[in-house]
Amino acid sequence: MSTDPERRRFLGVLAVTTAGAVSLPFVLRATRPAVAADAPRPAQGGSVTIDEFAPDKKPLGSRTQPRVVMTDEAWRAKLGARSYDVMRHDGTERAYTGPGWNRHDNGIYRCLGCDTALYDSATKFDSGTGWPSFWQPISRKNIVQTDDRSLAIEDRTAVSCARCGSHLGHVFDDGPDPTGLRYCMNAVAMRFVPVPGVHITL
């Protein structure tokens, strides 16, 4: 029994279109920059070289600092319950609940645990996720990226502070230009320091 030529042509076009639609997300993903993980989290103690910044964002150069090491009880007392859960036990705050998650003032976001400079407000963007998002850190020396396999459904790249090892959030490859990255941070893991003389929006 012969097949209608028009029907065969239609089925062929349908098959090609379906295959293209399925493969397109993988093609687009391949054009994005890879999210690179660093070495595993460093052991406690010792020292680390980080880039330091003045309150007006002026770079002060690289300096070697001792790692911040504290007991679990001391971290709990310093950070408070919400920040302690996120920073010392890799927790995640609920979206749209972190203090200043939607802030757009000019300044620097610093680690709540050790005051290391993490992000410049100039790289912050509205990701629509409810978490502070940045397209790059203020310095790659100041953070550590590690593989996070805590969720069976996907591999993620966790971001922690290079000096105190506190968990900050995750980085994804769906951000805007110029990096194509989205550093999705927990607001409770950072404190915002405005440039002197700049009004803060509450």
What's the distance, CA 41 to chain centroid?
16
Catalytic residue among 111, 114, 161, 184: 184
- Characterize the bridge pairing of strands 59-66 and 47-53: antiparallel
Number of separate helices (H) and strands (E) present in the chain? 3, 11
Catalytic residue check, 161? no
Q: List, in sequence order, every residue forming a beta bridge with 120; answer none if it has no partner.
A: 108
Q: How far is CA 123 from CA 127, 137, 176, 191, 193, in A?
A: 12, 8, 10, 16, 15
Query: Known catalytic residues?
Result: 184
